[in-house]
Structures are given as C-alpha cells and as structure tokens.
A and B are shown apart, each in its own frame.
Chain A
C-alpha cells in the first residue's frame, strides 16, 4: 500500500495544470521499481480506438487527445493506470508491478513460496490455462499442459479414470501414481467401488490452481508418498467484499469419432462361405446388422455450477454447488455428479489466528452400461437379427447349443448385454479439513499450524442380469443374478508444525524454517456374508488399516535476494514394514541462483528473469499393493474353497506370504533447471533435466524354492533408472491493447531402464512377465528385464514371405538352435513415449478469444490386441455351433491360427491430437459494473494424426476394446456478477 501510494503521489506531481483541446501528448512510461523505461506498453484513450505503444526507450506520442479524455496505461505484469487528462502536453507515467503477478506463489507442501524464490521443479496451472470442454476431473484439465507429466485417460466414457505419470514411474510393482493433496489433505490413492475417476470427485469449477511438484526437493517434504511426484489441488476461496456470484453452464453433445474396422456383412458372408465348414455356413443368417451402429449413440451432457463468495476482513466464504450429467456414447452409459464445496476463512485475534475450513463433497451415480458390448459389437455375427420371435432369451438372438442352452464359449448379443444386464454404481466422497494457523502474539515471525483433515469414501456397485439373459439351470429354470459390492474408506490426517520466518537485515538473509509432524491413518472396513458350508450365513467383518507417520523439517534461506538454499529432512514410518525396518530418512537439498539479480544483468533490457536451480533428494515408496506385506498373517478361505472331510466341507486357513525384511524403496533424484524470461517476460520458460535412480526397488518376484509361503513375494531387489529433459516456454508474439496472442509449448524427453532385477546375475533369466491380454489363458505380452525399459513387449519375430506378407505361425529362430520355442522371443519396443509434447495457443482480440491445445507423443508402441485376437480364421470359425465376426486385418494376414505373440501386432502408436479448440466472446458490464457474461463454443478430440492401425493410438500399451473417445461439441456460458 505504501509504495502504491507513493507512486500515485509521484504521478500527481507530474500532472501539469494547463488545458488545451485536442492536444498532442508525449511522455515516457517507466517501471516504478527499477526506474527503467518500459518498451511496448499500451497507451489508450479510454472508450476510443485511439492508442499507441511505447518505443524501445519507453517513449510515446499520442495525437488528438481531448481535454476530458481518460488515459489508460497498461503493460502485462504491471498494474494498469487510469489517468484523467487535463490538457498537458507531456505525461510521464511509472507503472507499478502487479503484486498479484509478482507474488505468484507455488504451493510446496506445508507452505508456499514465491514463484521466483522456488528452488524445486514445480509447475503451476490455473483455470485460464485449463483444457476446455466437457471435463469432469482435474487430470483432464492439465493433459498436455505441463512438461514432465503425462496423462492418458482410460477411454471415452464420462468420468473415466486415467493413468497419470510424473517423470515416468519410479517403481515397478509399487504404486506409480502421484500423490494428490487436496486442500492440504493427502487424498486416498485409488478409487472406490461404484465410483469413477477418483479425481472427478472434485468439481473442476472449484479448482483455483493445480501445482505439480516434480523433483525431489519439491516433493521430499511429502516424503512417504511422494516418489512419483505430487499434485496439489487447491480450491477457490472467497475474497473480502460484496458477494460475488458466478454461474457456469454448459451443454454438450458427443458422437463416436472412430469405429473398429470389422468385416462388413457381405465380407463376412464371403469369408464364412470360403473358409467355413458346412455346419458353419449353415449358421449364416440373412440379415445385415451393424452392431457397432446399434450400441453407440449421440450422447448429451450438461454441467451446471453456481458459486457465491465474499466476506469481510475477518471472514471470507465461498460456497458452490455443481451438477453434471453426461451420457456416454455407449447406450445406457451415464455419469451423474452432484458436488458441494465450501471454503471458509476466519481471521481472528488481530489476524493472529487464521482458521481455514474446507469441504468438498460429491455423490456420483453411474450407469456403467455393459462394456462387454464394445467387443461384442465388433464380433457378433452381422448376418443375424437383433431379435427373434419366441425364444427363451427375452427375444434377443443368442447362440445356443444343441440342448437349447446358451453356448458358453460364444459371444453375446451386444444389445442383450446392454439391455438385459444392469451395472450401476453410487459413490460418495467427502474430503475436508480445518486448519488453524496461529501467529504468536509475542513473536509474530513464529507460526504454529494445526491441520486436521479427513477423506471418507463409500461406494457401492450393484446390478445383475435378467433371468432371461441366462442359460436354464439343470432343472430348466432361468434365474436372475444380482451383485452388490460395498466398499468404504475412512482416512484421517493430522499435520502439526511450526514455521519461523524472519529477515535478518544484518546478513541480508531471509530465514524460513518449518518443523512438524504428520499422521495419516487409512482404514478400509468391509463386510460380507458367507455360507459356512451348511447353508448358514454368517457376516464376516474385516478392516484393513494402514498407518503412516512422519517428522519433518525444512529450512529455506534467501540471501541478498539472489542466492536460495532449501534443505529438508523427513523421517517416515509405515505400518507396512516391521518395527526394525519401519523408519526411513528422506533428505533433500536445493540451490537457486537468481542470475538476473546480479549486477551484470540487473540493467539488462533483454533478460527479465534468469534462475538456475540445482536439487538433489531422496524419496521413499512403500505403497506395494498389500497392506500387510511384512507381517505373518493367516487368511481364511471362502466357503467355495473348502475341502471335503467325510460328509462335511471344511473351510480353510492359509499362512499368507510375507517378507519381514522388506524396507523402503528409495528414489534418488538429481535435477538441474533454468527458469528464464526475456524481453519483459514476453518469452518465458523453463528447462529441467533430471536423473532418477530407484534402488531397493520393490519387486514382486520369486521366492527361492522352499522359502516363504507362496512362490513370490515383495523383495527389495532391483534398480530402475529414469532420465529426462523437459522444456516449456510461453511466447507472446503480439501483445497490445486489442490483440493478445500467446503461444505455449512443452516437450518432454524420457528414458527408463531397469538396471538390476535379480539376486544374482543369471543370463538365462527371462525377467518378469507382465501385461496380460485377451486371448488364451494367462498369456502375457510384456516383460521386465534388466537392461530394458519396463514393460517392454516380449514377442516372437514374425517371418514374412517374399510378397511381404506375414506367414502364419512361422517365426524367426533368433537363437539359431534349430527349434523355435520361447527362447526365441525378444524384447521389441515399449508402450512408454520417448517424447511427448503439447502446444497451445490463445488469441484474443478485444472481447473475442480463441484457443486450442494440441498434444502428441512419439516413440510409444501398442500391442494391437484387437487385431491379434480377432484377426485370424479360428477366431471367426471356432466351433460348429456359432460363428463370429472379426477385424478386416484377417484379410491382410490370412492367419488361420492365433499368433498372439507375433511382433506383427506391435505397432507404432505415435500421435498428434488436436485435443480442443474454443472460441468465445465476453460481454462486459452487462448487468452492472464488474459483471460479465462469456459465451464459448468448444470442440474436443477434433483431430488425430497417427499411423496406428487401431481406432485410437492412445492406450496404456495394450489396445483392446477401448471405449471410443468421442468427438464432443460444447456450448458454454459463464456469468459473473
């Protein structure tokens, strides 16, 4: 306030008192802080098109200025000045830096730092950068926007989950998901029965910012769960002032963009006639049914959200409620969400006590429809009708055996799957906290913070099948089936810490010291009924529980506003490990050097920001799938796994596998980064290079024969290396009063390699198979092996004939031993990208705006499991009792038998996608001052450029019956008053 006041005074002193009509005005615009001229600043006569920009020396000349004109001086990053013209012919203006811009903060865990003082690799994304469109979860908002984080959503159903990887995964068998911290509450990882994407429980309209912590110095303070990076989601809060109302509304329609290329009805008929036996040919019908057309639809959706915010000096509030309803393009698929969010802040005791209260509650109701219909719509015989008269199966055409019962091997009428089965979900989540922040009265530099939070989830999935959907039982009756699965999670968190923050003038050093304690408790209660073998049902109550606790400390030193040092130490304990192995220490340190503050750059017109960052740190991982991986426990069996002793069936008890020697998996990260800004921040960007080594890698691997209780257990055995380079930049080629054009881009290069996987060096060891797919039983297509990227495809090399066509069942004898067996498999490509990138642009002209986001990936390969499982003759003509359709690829390969493990199906899945484009217009002051109304039109998933042969190259690596990502068009309305 003080400097602003001084600046205004300075301006007032400059105001001459003479008055003339239609004057020529000249002057200089300078930076109030540095007293340097600002080139390119805008000078405009308000409500006219009369304006100019300053030259390289900050000078401007403006003609035809009327006496009563109001002059507007503006420049990005500075507060706009409005001055009433009073006839003078020279007017010099000094602009104040915009405090909001300057004080842009990043949330770093147990506090915030000014962005310019951050030493770690942290990216911040705010609503103006979010992806637009029919979006219900935070991960979709940031997809393609940040280097070093890759978001691949699981498909085109509304609220679908996603795989999110920050700097690849640091683990092999342990969890690779980042930690999500929602308003200070580290959220439960994973979802809930009957739910959808766990991030869709937070209404995207309520999100104020998303901070992504990538390197160890940033994440280490979250220690225990931070090896895979941290995503901090902060929701909006009210500001003191009159009540503000914001209303968002959107309507969308989604259509299927791409269908799987299966044989057309006539192609199918020709194929069966040419290759089938008499019994199979006799099965051909006379219809022409396009099953894919029948299972998909145009799907409508809407999202409505209202928020109220405001407050006084001592109390601010924001409450909002949202309702979203999206149909999926698969018939019956529906996502319906109601959210309620409240954020209250109290400032008491002369601002010494601040209390923040947050709550985000959501109820998601889902109709999942039946995803099996996606595959069935490709494979169901197109010569058959949807309905037939007078059968036992509700009139739906079904394949039956010669005894009239359903053929259990055959596929099912896709519409019967959708219409005769119910698959519903209902999930509730409430996540909230109360944070007390007390600045000591006697020592205001010292704060005590107590944060109490909870994250409760409860969900239920339920449904079943109609009686007529099922085969008759042995007694001839058809019986409806039902299921009902309930899951609850009750999680608590407590943080208590002190923060001491003081600037010591004598040594020009700012001290910011934090020390505290963190307690997290996760309880997963379940109950189910079981039959004791004599028809008596008893209820079994279980609760699994995970407990994590930590002590942490961090010191931030800033010397002379140039040199930054951060050091932190966290000591974490987990209930997953035994008492002796429970605690791990996780240190981190970082240095920052604001080079632009040095004398040799301080005066530079070119460099506006230049900061070098170096960091090192160790983070820990304990999130193996099992809650009790190192404890000797015993598992009871269900009644269906009993064993007969005489005339009774005895339920069993089994010792559970455990490894009491299990310790923390540790990831050591080095990071070097450079933040830069040139030409008054018209060009800004960041470069980061990292090297991460995970040692004591928890690998689920074989026990020595004779040891343990199962064949495999968790061991700290391997080493995994991840390296990468990340660049991101924003450029403003045009920035003036009317036009504003920003081009942003980011690119990430990454490489992962397993460097150790076994106790001993064994050249014959084949590694760990992974990547189950559809086709056969228990087949895998991927493999972890020393010296290769995790989950590399592990395949046979296909042999081709002279014409270049693959030969059915002939593979290259790679080891030359004369027989082709599994020793001839090799590792070929991998699903992870070598490079991924995004670029986006915003263009605005007056109140019009346009933006679009592109995103791409290179070096990633897919296993085309659709072609491999549906592209050979025996898949179409398996039995004499039914026939099924396949993909057109069968006509290319002419394969008779399945060749699941052929490298023919490992296909380049590099892509470039136009994710979304939006055009909009904002009406200012429509209802009153400061009110606005914005209309937008958005298209999503507009373009895919790829050589990949399936419907969509973006998968988790194994492409099988992906729910097609629709093309969506959306109209949006935003009103603020």
Chain B
C-alpha cells in the first residue's frame, strides 16, 4: 500500500508541475505575429500613431486591410460595395435623375425605383461603413488622451502632431455623423466616452445629431490647422468650414429651423480663402487631380491610388462602371468597362449640349431614353471620371484595373453655388457676389468665355438646382439637393423610371430618409424604425 501511495504522490506532483506550466499557454493575448498586434505593441510604439490615423482617413477609401479586397472592415457584403464613396453614390445618385444602373446585384435596382426596404444590403453596408468610421475615430480618441499618452511615454513632436490628429479624427467622426443625419435621420450616438464593452446605445433624434455635429465642428474648427497648412489630402480648417456650411445649409431639412445665415458665415470664409477654381473642368476628375492644379479647388477630398490605395469602390467604380457599349476603355485609362451606370434624359436635358464643357455624355450607340434599365445601351453614359493624366497617359496601375483619381467630397465650385443659393434664400451675401460666383463656375464650363454667363434676372433657385446638377452630377450631392428643394419624393419633379415607371411617378415622402437597417434594429431594441418603413 505504501508503494501505491508513493507512486500516486509522485504522479500527482509531476502532474501539477506539468499543468501549471501548460495552462499558461491558454493565454494567447499577445500573438507572436508581426501583422496582428496587441494594444501594448501598438500604443507604445511612436511609429504607429500615423498608421492609425491613416486608417481613419483610409476608411473613406479602402475596404479592408488587404487592398483591393481581403480582411474586410465590414462583412455581409461584397467588399467593393462596402466602400464609403460607392455607398454614397448608390444612396445619393442612383436614387435620383442623375443615374441608373444595369446590374443585377441584389436590390441595386430598388434605388432608382425608390422601392428599397429596411432589409436592403446596400443600405445596411453604408450604414455600417459610417458606423465603422465613427467607432474607429472614437477608439483613436479614447487611446490618445493626455493620461494615456503620458503613461506610454509619447512626447515631443509626435505629441504635438497627435493634437492635430485628434482634431482631424473628430472632424472625420462629424463627417460620418453628418452623413448619418442626412441619410438615416435618427441613429445611435456614441462617442469616446461610451462604454467599450457590449451595451445598447440610445437612439439620438435628428436634432440631437445636428447639435452633436455642430458642437463638435465648432469645437475643433480652430484646433485644425489653417487652410493649406496640412499635407494633401488631410482635413484642415477649410474642411470643417465646408462641413459646417453643409450642415447649416440643410438645417431646415434636419431640424425644421433654417440656418442659412450661419451657413453664410462659413461659405464666406471659404470663398475668401486661398482656394481657386481650376481652369479645366474635365481635369478635376483626372488621374493626376491631386497635383494638376485641381487640388487647389478641393476643400476636402478622398485620395485613391492605382497601386497603393486599391479598392473596387471609390473612383475605380466610378471610372469602370459607366464604360460599356462601344466605348474604348483606353480613353478612360482602364482595362475594361463594367457596363453599369448611365443617366436619364432628365439630366441630359438640363445641358446646352455640345457647348457646355460639362456635357461629357457618351452617346454613340446609346439611346437617350431608357426602355430597359438592364440594357447598358439604354440611356447616355457620362465620361466624367477618367484615369488619365493631363498628357493623356494612363494611371499608375499598369494593369489598368485600379485608378488614381481622387474624389473631391467638397470643392470650391460647390461653395460658390452654395453662396448664391444662400443669397437667394436670404441668408446673406450680395447679389453681385452671388452672380459673380455662379458665372465664374459657368465661365469655366464655357471654355473660359462669358458665353454661358447668366444675367441677374435668371438667378433663381430653380436655376441653382439645375446648375448644381450640371456642375456636381455624380459627386454624391444630388439626393440631398433635391430634398432641400422638395423635389426628391412626391410628384413636383419626376424623372424617367422614378417610382419604377418609364416616365416617372410620384413617390411617398417617407423615402426622404432611408430606413434604419433591419439588422441594426434586430441588434439593438433601443432603435426605432423611421416612419413609413
């Protein structure tokens, strides 16, 4: 018996030693990996802060950690379709007179038909992309407080730099909340003080979102460096002015209270700043628009690169998707067309065709009117986005798949037209300046001549809405503009295939905002669906 006891003791001791050393292996919180880092590895290293910042911007351009696709930021959708600008295009352009699409991707045709539902995967993806941006910005702000930077020994120039980064992060968060407010009305509001563990955020009203965006922008506007003080394309003070102007411009839609005079304050700062209209309209959308002079017109843009910033959304989508029919892809600096997007006759008919330089319709083999939305040759397409430089050379990706064109989210011509609109709506400014800015935009469109200039008698709101379509079509402003003018839903303005009818039909006004995705409602009982859905 003694033997047995001894043996048991021996094994028991052996076993214990073995286990204590082994069970430590269950803690894998610091993987032995150079691409998957622990928070300690990230925040103790001064070189990583710029990379975290690059992701906050990159979330507007790329879709995951492996360009063009792989390790996605957002799941449940094709990666290209989860791209920020592509999502905006679907919601802001396909729903309007400016665009139709031939493809059979899920519910893509519901947008022009204005028959989307709360289960829509595109709406869900865009909602999630905005949310991704907000959450990433919150995390950056959470991890760069004075106390944490102190505890991690971050000091010197980097510390100063992080001050600007934090203001930029708050700008980017405000930008996405602006898009939330514009597209969805009322959503959950979280900031860097929100819990990091699982919880169910409360839904903020559209007014509360408005207040948040306004307060944030006012708080950071002077923390952001002066216009032009930052390297391209980071957001400086001008970007915050423009976003404030946009928020105030549409305040009546968002809150019921017009704020045009506040909008004027910031538009006025922009038009009196160092931005200049580029002399060529078409070069604004060229591969080298970050350095061909167009960048001087850009107030805030999202940068793409054919080699280093690859995505199937963004300007790669905008360039490939309208190429088809008998178009030669060489002319657009790409390897082929995707034969998807065109426009309706409602947009075409706003142009003085052949004279206005902004008429970039491709008509050969295309019909003006659309019989079958699925047929690419029904409807004119638009050759606006071109992956060639001012010398006609294609972009940097030798295969012609990914493009270099940057996407101007805000540019000076938009601010000029806003100035005129604010004046017409009684928000401030002078008629002379308003007319001058509108005609500046038109002079460029008319090849630098005054042939397209309008007299003051023609300067009215209807003209402005049409001029905005001529100048800014396919730049993701159209739905917001139509809503501000009361023409997006309802019957006051119909265009081909609005309401899924060839000549257009009225649609119900609840469609002025998109539904909260059913997925989000299911995930958070605090969210109430927008009425009508």
Interface residues, chain A, with chain B CB atoms under 8 Å away: 279, 401-403, 405-409, 440, 442-443, 448, 471, 473-475, 496, 498, 517, 519, 521, 533, 540-547, 549, 573-575, 579, 582, 627-628, 631-647, 649-656, 659-661, 700-712, 758-760, 762, 764-766, 769, 775-780, 819, 821-823, 874, 878-881, 896-898, 900
Contact = CB atoms under 8 A, between A and B. Distances in A.
B36 A705 contact: no
B37 A653 contact: yes
Given A640-B66, A711-B75, A898-B104, 6 more contacts: A407-B336, A519-B25, A636-B35, A652-B65, A769-B121, A896-B372
Contacts of A582: 26
A776 B198 CA distance: 35
A471 B3 contact: no
B77 A778 contact: yes
Given A549-B23, A641-B67, A711-B75, A473 B398 contact: yes
B107 interface: yes
Contacts of B54: 642-643, 645, 650-653
B523 interface: yes
Interface in B19-51: 19, 22-23, 25-29, 31-39, 41-42, 48, 50-51
Contacts of A643: 54-55, 57-58, 61-62, 303, 309
A654 B54 CA distance: 9
Interface in B44-89: 48, 50-55, 57-58, 61-62, 64-68, 70-71, 73-78, 80-81
B305 interface: yes
Contacts of B521: 762, 764-765
A707 B78 contact: no
Most-contacted residue by chain B among A546, A643, A646 (CB, 10 A): A643
B35 A540 contact: yes
A401 B34 CA distance: 44
A822 B120 contact: yes
Contacts of B374: 874, 896-898
Most-contacted residue by chain B among A473, A544, A631, A711 (CB, 10 A): A711
A704 B188 contact: yes
B522 A760 contact: yes
B527 interface: yes
Given A409-B337, A545-B31, A635 B520 contact: no
A660 B195 CA distance: 13
25 contacts: A473-B398, A473-B400, A474-B394, A498-B11, A517-B15, A579-B26, A628-B28, A636-B37, A639-B308, A640-B307, A641-B66, A642-B54, A653-B54, A702-B523, A705-B187, A708-B198, A709-B132, A762-B525, A764-B118, A769-B121, A776-B106, A777-B105, A778-B77, A780-B106, A897-B374
Nearest to B499: A819
B310 interface: yes
Contact of A642 (B201, B308, B529): B308
Contacts of A279: 326
Contacts of B57: 643, 645
B405 to A, nearest CB: 12
Given A652-B51, A655-B139, A403 B330 contact: yes
Contacts of A533: 308
Contacts of A496: 15, 18
B429 interface: no
Given A635-B71, A769-B121, A707 B201 contact: yes
B329 A401 contact: yes
B339 interface: yes
Nearest to B78: A778
A212 to B, nearest CB: 30
Interface string B188-221: 1110001001111100000000000000000000
B119 interface: yes
A760 B28 contact: no
Contacts of B117: 821-823
Contact of A711 (B131, B336, B337, B339): B131
B443 to A, nearest CB: 31
A549 B374 CA distance: 57
Contacts of B197: 660-661
B290 interface: yes
A279 B326 CA distance: 10
Interface string B304-339: 010111100000000000001110111000011111
Interface stretch (B230-238, B253-261, B446-454): B230-238
B188 A638 contact: no
Interface string B432-445: 00000000000000
Contacts of B11: 448, 498
Contacts of A475: 398
Interface string B376-401: 10000000000000000110001110
Given A641-B62, A653-B51, A769 B76 contact: yes
A777 B80 contact: yes
Contacts of B81: 777-778
B27 to A, nearest CB: 7
A519 B75 CA distance: 34
A634 B119 contact: no
Contact of A707 (B77, B198, B336, B522): B198
B456 interface: no
A764 B26 contact: no
B276 interface: no
A644 B66 contact: no
A635 B65 contact: yes
B305 A573 contact: no
A632 B131 contact: no
Given A635-B65, A650-B54, A654-B55, A760 B525 contact: yes
Contacts of B22: 519, 549
B281 interface: no
Contacts of A711: 74-76, 124, 128, 131-132, 519
Given A542-B35, A701-B523, A759-B523, A641 B58 contact: yes
A872 B320 CA distance: 24
A106 B87 CA distance: 58
Contact of B131 (A471, A706, A776): A706
A187 B36 CA distance: 26
Contacts of B17: none
The 10 closest A-B pairs by CB, nearest first: A646-B231, A778-B78, A640-B67, A408-B336, A711-B128, A706-B190, A641-B67, A704-B524, A652-B55, A650-B54
A519 B67 CA distance: 38
A766 B199 CA distance: 22
Contacts of B62: 637, 641, 643, 652
B110 A822 contact: yes
B518 interface: yes
Contacts of B412: none
Most-contacted residue by chain A among B132, B201, B308 (CB, 10 A): B308
A779 B305 contact: no
B116 interface: yes
A776 B110 contact: no
A638 B66 CA distance: 5
B134 interface: yes
Contacts of B73: 654, 710
A575 B33 contact: no
B7 interface: yes
A443 B8 CA distance: 12
Nearest to B307: A640
B310 A542 contact: no
B135 A708 contact: yes
Contacts of B329: 401, 403, 405
Nearest to A576: B28
B115 interface: yes
Contacts of A405: 329-330, 335-336
Contacts of A660: 197
B419 interface: no
B58 A642 contact: yes
A405 B329 CA distance: 9
B365 interface: yes
